[in-house]
Amino acid sequence: MLEFNAPLSTDVLVVGGGIGGLCAAIASARTGARTMVAEKADTRRSGSGATGNDHFACYYPKAHGSDIRVILKELRQSLVGAYHDEKLSLRFLEESIHMVDRWQEWGINMKPFGDDYEFMGHAYPGRPRIWLKYDGHNQKQVLTRQAKKEGVEIVNHLPVIDLIEMDGEIAGALALDVSKDTPTFTVIRARKVVLSTGTANRLYPAAGSPGWPFNTAFCPACTGAAQAQAWRIGAKMVNMEMPNRHAGPKFFARAGKSTWIGVYRYPNGKLLGPFVDRATRYVGDITCDVWNSAYTDVLLNGSGPAYIDCTQTKPEDLAFMREGMISEGLTTLVDYMDRTGLDVSRHAVEFMQYEPHIIGRGLEIDIDGQTSVPGLYAAGDMVGNFRADIAGAAVYGWIAGGHAGASAASCELKNAETSPWVAERAQLYSSFVERESGAAWKEANLAVQQIMDSYAAAGPHRLRSATLLTAGLKYMADLRKNAINEISVPDAHSLMRAIETLDLMDNGEIVMHAALERKETRGMHQRSDYTFTNPLLSDKFLEVWQENGTVRTEWRQCWN
Amino acid sequence: MPPIIHADRCTHCGMCATICPMNIFKHEKGQTPKVAYPEECWHCNACVLDCPAHAVELRLPLNYMVLHVDADTLHA
């Protein structure tokens, strides 16, 4: 068995120091609760917002007027708008501008163009624009500095690998110290836990580079840890069966398509969409937010490829776009373009649809960000019934952290390290280190991807069915057994990757269980055995969870 | 093999290893960090941005080529 360090104790433990986690931690600390962030890497540069972002969804009454429902409609019709419990969306919108004010005060430039907030991009012509354009290149450093200033304890290189539940409520977490080559365990006792581990990547083969799992648009260190860990202790998930696929340049997977200011064209010059024939910094071409599968469709029907053409964008807007790419954290792309002579004023860049990943699907939360496990909260990309990406993580992180902090004092701190679950999980993970030779974690990760791609594929043009999903579940269980019996790791880093791979297996199984139960075709969940969309399910969400080792599912009405 | 650390400029501070979101470096005090897990690089540029000595360069693998054409071909 690997060694255990002395247990740590805190009132509120935040799992993951991304945007949601750091905002949760600051809010928690402001209530007076002792607050700790356990982070896999280093909060100054971790997660999908590591090097920046530039669009923050927000309701600003001064610009948008007093009717919040007008902005709610825009949010729901945006690329992040599917699968919301609207009472959460409304709370998010109500609080969003206050979060923007805080970020501005802390040192993230939310007003890069003058004295007031400006809204640009991801917008329909003639409709209100809800995405505040900001310069987030330093967002992680600023949030880290602010968290420390507020008294938050940040422990880097300490990924949480399991949650500990005792007497029906959260009691803490088991973490893996990866700061040295030899891994050790640390139990963190906590009265409340806020999960904020981001998107789940590496679940399907990378669309651009199959067999190369790290060419992903979102941070590939994020592997659905929150969903997997919460699933293992019985938390409810929603919408896990609904695939999401992002899009961007081909073959270098990168998010931020609305930072590009251009129009999408077929090779014969025809526009893909009906929205604009010339893009500006205010209104770009929203076609692919609406027609999400465009790049795959045109490739598979032979009419592609599809390009983004910025050549008719005004020079001042092209300069603005370059600055936007730096704000968005796309400096690798900017450097590459400079080095290779790729010039968007002369060249059209092919775009593609990336592989399915999990964002805006996962943990079901209530209006305060609490999951179905008492004392366990979630905020950010791994929440299943609300999504607003960066802004969603920040605002709901703030809400969840504030609620957790304020209610922590009423809970008792338990000796989480005495839970038999800790010993069981530690023994499993230790066995990978103790085994002198065997399978590499990467073999298991590729196997997960192969199974998901074959048996739980996402549309367009790929189908699921009861027989395929049932086979996929059988094969994933076989893989898990083989992986547990055969994986061998040489060091702490590889053990972390192996545990991520086990988390991906849980995510895959949740997806397949839920996909089996959703007996209809909707979005990119396309069933060959249920080819229609069932209107009776339009205002319902599918909950899925484990109870004493048995998978349960239940349909519920959306919370409007 | 991304990223590339220029040993002649590296001051051995270990910043690249500390802040890498993917933990791909190994660093011993007083030495140039090693890129221990190059295939796990996300190509986020954090190491390039944060190196105080500007000693890190990021090379995109050949299979990450950004596909593009002369835009005139779309306007013909």
CA distance B58 to chain A (A): 8
What is the average pLDDT score of chain A?
97
> Residue A242, class by beta-carbon neighbours within 10 Å (0-12 exposed, 13-18 middle, 19+ buried)?
buried
What does the pLDDT average to over A455-473?
A: 98
DSSP state of A356: E
Q: Indicate yes or no: CB of B23 within 8 angstroms of CB of A44.
A: no
For chain A, give the percent of residues with pLDDT over 90.
99
pLDDT tens track for A388-420: 999 999 999 999 999 999 999 999 999 999 999
User: In Å, how far from its chain's centre is CA A209?
Assistant: 21
Q: A527-532: long-range contacts at Cβ-Cβ below 8 A with a sequence spacing of 24 or more? A: A527/A463, A527/A464, A527/A465, A528/A463, A528/A464, A528/A465, A529/A465, A529/A466, A529/A467
pLDDT tens track for A161-202: 999 999 999 999 999 999 999 999 999 999 999 999 999 999
Given A220, A309, A340, which is nearest B71 (Cβ)?
Answer: A309
| Complex ipTM over 0.90 | yes
Residue A224: pLDDT over 80: yes
Tell me the one-letter amino acid at A233: I
Q: Identify all chain A residues contacting B66, using CB atoms and an 8 Å cutoff.
A: 249-252, 333, 336-337, 340, 342, 349
User: In Å, how far from its chain's centre is CA A539?
Assistant: 23
Task: Quote the pLDDT of residue A457.
Answer: 98
Q: Which of A319, A237, A284 is nearest to A122 (CA)?
A: A284
A182 within 8 A of A379, measured Cβ to Cβ: no
pLDDT tens track for A526-546: 999 999 999 999 999 999 999
Residue A23: pLDDT over 60: yes
Q: Indicate yes or no: CB of A220 within 8 angstroms of CB of B40.
A: yes
Task: Quote the pLDDT of residue B1.
Answer: 56
Residue with tokens 């010039």: A343
Nearest CA in chain B to A17: B21
Task: Quote the pLDDT of residue A560.
Answer: 84
Residue A472: pLDDT over 80: yes
**CA dist., res. A177 & res. A158, Å (int):** 5
Q: Which segments of chain B have a pLDDT < 70?
A: 1
Q: Identify all chain A residues contacting B39, using CB atoms and an 8 Å cutoff.
A: 212, 214
Residues of B engaging A, defined by a Cβ cutoff of 8 Å: 18-23, 26, 36-37, 39-46, 48-50, 58, 60, 63-71, 73-76
Q: Give residues with Cβ within 8 angstroms of A451, minimum separation 6.
A: A472, A475, A476, A479, A508
Q: Is A463 helix (H, G, I), strand (E, B) or coil?
A: coil
B55 within 8 A of B11, measured Cβ to Cβ: yes
